[in-house]
Amino acid sequence: MWKLIYKTPSRSFSTSCVKRAIFDARSPLKVLQPLQAYAPTFYTRGENITPLYEPCQFYAQLKSNILQAKERVFIAALYIGQSEQDLVDTIRTALERTPTLQVHVLIDCLRGTRASKGQSSATLLLPLIEDFPNQMKVSMYHTPDLTGLLKKTLPARFNESIGLMHLKVYGFDNKVMLSGANLSTDYFTNRQDRYILFDKQPELSSYYHNLLKLISNCSYQLTSGKETYNLTMRKEMADPVKESKRYKRQVHAYLQEFIRTQPSLKCEEEHDTAVLPVIQMGPFGIRQDEKFTLELLTIAHAQRNWTIDLTSGYFNFTDKYKSFILKTRAKFQFLTASPEANGFFNSKGVSRFLPPAYTYIERKFYRQVKKIGRSHDISIEEYKRPGWTYHAKGLWVKFNDDLPYLTMIGSPNFGQRSSERDLEAQAVVMTENKALRNALHKEVDMLHKYSELVSNETFAKLDRQVPNGVKIATAFVKTML
């Protein structure tokens, strides 16, 4: 009989409970307890966790929480849009109102310094550093995989395919909001993503705050320059461009220590929800998120009547994920962007070929599902909403076609880039709370509301034909998609 086998992790995150734990023998979540060996566990109540459903809600919540913060605001995002003066003004107002407030922003160096109409994330944030030098800090991560001749020759936009800081974490005192959304106008208006707010979570907030500080300490610091700005590295850190190998060794050691030293927490009887944060940082050999996800699929294979809803704006599973999915005894419902809902649709230059590249990958998977006779329990839907693009990612797990008991929320796309090139973070929420489970059901249901089932007819359409050149190129650049 075929079995899914995954190596047990060497690091065990121990937890202890007072009275009844949500993973005890009476709990439907008992089957998920082995996952606690892969990540620290933070206990809470379901009413402290709130999924948001629309981009405008995300933006309103973001600004409100910044203005309400008293001690700290910490933001990790790929970039801040060059035209987001309203968001910068909100941060300025918060700094002016509360002189004790500390604001720390971590963005990607390549994306954050790319200018459009003379403005970039760096130049947008620089006045805050100049006006609030004791309260404001901006760090810019640079991948150690873009060095030497490659860095000199690859133009802007193309160089970002080598690797990025892709975390999407928004923290405010003891609150944390996790998302896949960046900070630009489309993500606040008509680019659908996912967003979950964790309230009254001091330990979880500190976890993400410490993670952000770690990555920031290994990044360039944005400072004022004579003409525009300077990027400086801490003296004890190797430079990611000039000393790539030594830099990788340093960061790997820091991340290993961060994972190793996460505290063992106690849970109490009133807790009905567990949050397990996981990270994936391929350039430094950190694969916590991947190990956790594969273990979840291993558990799913041993169960009956499980349904896993899995979504990503970019359909490009790693070979490992694809192999596990195709062999896992569970019903899968995939949701991805239609070509029209892909953010690169009708874009200029080479990037206009990205939607057909994803179509090609999706079609190959669809045909593989048919070939092995799994079409009855593995389906693909495409998000198609006029005037909107799609960027949501994550999964939901249901037992016996019930409400979701588990969701994964954060930045990874389950693809080659997320696994190998970028820095990613997400959290796993397991809950018995009926109201939260209903809210998670509403979340996935609303996403499927704008979707269409993929069939043979989908790929037979004239506008879904993939040029041969794209097929050939896709094989070479798959790890960059």
Strands (E), 173-282: 175-179, 191-192, 195-198, 220-224, 229-232, 266-267, 273-281
CA distance 395 to 297: 12
pLDDT beyond 90 at 320: yes
Cα 275 to chain centroid distance, Å, stands at 15
pLDDT tens-digit readout, 46-104 = 999 999 999 999 999 999 999 999 999 999 999 999 899 999 999 999 999 999 999 99
CB atoms within 10 A of CB 150: 11
Decide the pairing of beta strands 229-232 and 220-224: antiparallel
Please identify which residue in the block is written with the tokens 């593989």. Answer: 368
Half-sphere exposure of 401 (CA within 13 A, CB side): 3
The structural domains of the chain, with segments of one domain joined by +, span 16-480
Structure-token pair, residue 91: 């941060």
What is the maximum alpha-carbon separation in the chain? Answer: 69
CA distance 319 to 69: 43
- In sequence order, the β-bridge partners of residue 116 are 119
Phi, psi of 341 (to 5 degrees): -95, 0
pLDDT beyond 50 at 258: yes
What does the pLDDT read at residue 68? 98
What does the pLDDT read at residue 349? 65
pLDDT beyond 60 at 5: no
Do 313 and 392 touch, CB atoms closer than 8 A? yes
pLDDT tens-digit readout, 148-188 = 999 999 988 889 999 999 999 999 999 999 999 999 999 99
Half-sphere exposure of 465 (CA within 13 A, CB side): 5
Give, in degrees to the nearest 5, the angle at Cα 239 between 111 and 277.
60
Cα 302 to chain centroid distance, Å, stands at 27
What does the pLDDT read at residue 402? 86
pLDDT tens-digit readout, 117-143 = 889 999 999 999 999 999 999 999 999
Active site residues: 166, 168, 173
Alpha helices in 218-353 (DSSP H): 244-260, 288-301, 319-327
Q: pLDDT band at 346, cuts 50/70/90?
A: low
pLDDT beyond 50 at 386: yes
213, amino acid identity: K
C-alpha closest to that of 44 among 259, 199, 216 = 199
Q: Is 447 helix (H, G, I), strand (E, B) or coil?
A: helix
Question: Stretch 448-459: mean pLDDT, rounded?
Answer: 95
With residues binned 3-state (H G I as helix, E B as strand, rest as coil), the percentages for the chain, rounded to 5, are 40, 25, 35
What does the pLDDT read at residue 3? 40
CATH number 3.30.870.10 given to 16-480: yes
